[in-house]
Amino acid sequence: MATTKVTFTLDDVSLARLNDSASRLAMPKSEVVREAIMEFHERIGRLSERERTTLLRAFDSLVPQIPERAVAEVDREIEDLRLSRRDGGRGTLAS
């Protein structure tokens, strides 16, 4: 695989983690960075565990708030809304 030398800036924490990872894995820092980029790229578009947990909590709190109504009642309400929109709205404009 051909390589290209690049320069980028890291904060102290990131640099310390890179050094620690390279040391613990007995790998060159450039290899650690390459693997991290490959893993990060594979995760793009997928939820992190934290995001997934947050969304599930929101879902679990919202679902019980959904009112239990008969389908026929909901269908009537939707039809009433459609009719009112065709007639220009629910009320009339004051002159």
Q: What is the pLDDT of residue 92?
A: 58
**Domain membership flag for residue 92:** no
Q: What is the pLDDT of residue 87?
A: 79
**Domain membership flag for residue 91:** no
In total, how many domains does the chain have?
A: 1
Q: What is the pLDDT of residue 68?
A: 87
Q: Which portions of the chain are predicted below pLDDT 70?
A: 89-95
Please give the residue range of the domain that contains residue 53. Answer: 12-86
DSSP letter string, 49-69: HHHHHHHHHHHHHHGGGS---
**Domain membership flag for residue 65:** yes
Q: What is the pLDDT of residue 91?
A: 60
Q: What is the pLDDT of residue 1?
A: 74
**Domain membership flag for residue 68:** yes
